[in-house]
Structure 1
Amino acid sequence: MRWRVLGLMTAVWLCVGAAQAADPPPRVITLAPSVTELVYAAGAGADIVGTVLHSDYPPAAREIRRIGDGIQASEESILALRPTLVVAWYPTEATRALDSRLQTLNIPLLYANPGTLDEIPALIRTLGQRLGTQAHADAAAAALQQRIDRLQPAAPPAQTVFLEISTDPLFTLGRDPLINDLLARCGGINPYADSRVAAPQVSVESVLHLDPQVLIMSPYGRETLEARTRWWSEHGLTAARQGRIYAIDPDWLHRPGPRLIDAAEAICRDLQRARASLGASAAP
């Protein structure tokens, strides 16, 4: 009987060893800061072996090896890290070329490019399933979904919102379904939503002509809310003169990951304040 038990135990150990050999731990490459944040949200941040220059959140991501700048990535550096999964933001010429090489090595490339706020928790669940962290990912996704469902839009009608993402030259967000979904949930509408591109350059005159009720700036440079409020007031923008100009952390707004929900909550609050301001200015 003793030898039979030992034989069974040996068989179990051999099976476990074979399973481990056939299913190595994940080794993930992330090709955008937002993707890095999504993988961490899914509970698999420790599995990231390479990422791009500006992946700096959460703080632990700053210690990950860099393999490119987010626009170009070194194919040799990526392959040297022996990835089991590469995750990019959206298809580009560079990622398509990389995908062709990865396919020959049976390394999957996944795109994480949400088109609505609801797709952010869905992506976290997908990453959790792929990386063996489903319980953590499901919990994180459920918490984000609850926050999305609780977003409170300002009272109708929708307010027009100009999103200033660069000052010189002046750029805004246009045909960006994710950001326009965010604005709609907060009771806002983007007057440039029908632009042919996601981030069109616009003129000061066109903004003044549209006269948006709210301006939200996401400064990557040195521009402050006070400085932009003063500048737009001097140029005659009603929203600036009446105090309906707000600032949002650009990393929250421009990274389509978990912190975009932080941006949504902040913008919803801003539009509620703007609605109150509009009501007060219209009162006799």
Structure 2
Amino acid sequence: MKLVKFLAFLTACIGLNPALAQERIVSIGGDVTEIIYALGAEQALVGRDSTSIAPLAAQQLPDVGYMRQLNVEGILALKPTKVISSDVAQPSVVFEQLKSAGVTVERVPFEYTPESVIQKIQRVGKLVNKPQQAVKLAEKFANELKAISTSPLDVRILFILNHAGSNYMAAGKNTVADSIIRLIGATNAMQNSIRFSPISQEGVIAARPDLLVLTKMSLESLGSIDKVWSLPGMALTPAAKKKNVIVLDDLAVLGFTLTTPTELLKMRQAAEQVRHD
């Protein structure tokens, strides 16, 4: 009995939650993993997916693969008691197989809105038994969003994406990129298209972007920032005249994460500068 009490005391002293200390959690979805770390529940993590690259400490965890191409063997090899996953992870049969193997599966909804981040924080906070920390984190996120001006700007933004050497794609409606462009009060230069579509010289010229937005991974694929102007039609856009381009974090602008407000502020400031030039 004394040993049990001592262990409980020791656990409290080093900040571990007794229930959480017994969990073995695999986190799937960069947004979910980031929240788990921010809540101070990372000690229960035994694995993550390949999109979970922030914070840097998460990259030390075993990688179970891309969240849209999961396999049950890789996850079960880590002997998890619980899997906390973004709702967009696939295939769904993997989660059914996990349940059949006795693993608790919790799905976290994903939406293209900043409000959804607050909901995710609350949901994950409950799942890792950190409700009070979740309240504080949600308040911090909400306050950071409120600090960003959303007044209308007469600025057309073209969001370009390229991963792993694929075709360069432009973000249209029904994308996270479109949502964040509208959130800062600007106009999506590709508002007449749906989702991501390959860029073309005619399409880029017709879009008349004042500002180009690239992600860090897209820039890595491109090689250097100057090469963006050699893409089809880019040199003939208003953005090219003053080399108006900004590079943002992939996860923050494609997944609505805790760092999204920081990247939104950068984009808003860049758009305001374009308007004043």
**TM-score, structure 1 as length reference:** 0.78
Alpha carbons of 1:242 and 1:63: their partners in 2 closer, same or farther (altered >3 Å)? closer
1:174 is aligned to 2:172:
yes
- Tell me what 1:183 maps to: 181
Equivalent residues in 2 for 1:75-224 (5 A)?
75-91=72-88, 93-94=90-91, 96-104=92-100, 105=102, 107-153=104-150, 156-166=152-162, 169-196=167-194, 198-218=195-215, 219-224=219-224
Counterpart-to-counterpart distance in 2, 1:21 and 1:58: 24
Farther off after superposition, 112-121 or 99-108: 99-108
- Tell me what 2:276 maps to: 276
Alpha carbons of 1:87 and 1:191: their partners in 2 closer, same or farther (altered >3 Å)? farther
Shift of 1:273: 0.8
8 Å contact 2:159–2:177 — kept in the other structure? no
- The gaps in structure 1 that reach 5 residues or longer are 1-8, 278-284
Root mean square deviation, CA, Å: 3.1
8 Å contact 2:98–2:104 — kept in the other structure? yes
- Tell me what 1:266 maps to: 266
- Tell me what 1:37 maps to: 34
Counterpart-to-counterpart distance in 2, 1:264 and 1:135: 27
Counterpart secondary structure, 2:198: coil
Alpha carbons of 1:52 and 1:238: their partners in 2 closer, same or farther (altered >3 Å)? same
Shift of 1:147: 0.5
**Percent identical across equivalent pairs?**
18
- Tell me what 1:4 maps to: none
Farther off after superposition, 42-51 or 222-231: 222-231
Counterpart-to-counterpart distance in 2, 1:142 and 1:189: 28
The structure number with the bigger radius of gyration is 1
Shift of 1:269: 0.9
Tell me which amino acid in the other structure corresponds to 2:184.
Answer: C
Counterpart secondary structure, 1:57: coil
Tell me which amino acid in the other structure corresponds to 1:161.
Answer: I
> CA offsets per residue over residues 172-216 of structure 1, 9 Å max, x none?
2223353323212211121334534x3221212211012122221
Counterpart-to-counterpart distance in 1, 2:55 and 2:34: 7
Aligned length: 260
Counterpart secondary structure, 1:67: coil
- Tell me what 1:247 maps to: 247
Equivalent residues in 2 for 1:2-21 (5 A)?
none
8 Å contact 1:28–1:87 — kept in the other structure? yes
Shift of 1:168: 6.6
Alpha carbons of 1:124 and 1:256: their partners in 2 closer, same or farther (altered >3 Å)? same
Counterpart-to-counterpart distance in 2, 1:65 and 1:106: 18
Counterpart secondary structure, 1:66: coil
Counterpart-to-counterpart distance in 1, 2:177 and 2:166: 22
- The gaps in structure 2 that reach 5 residues or longer are 9-16
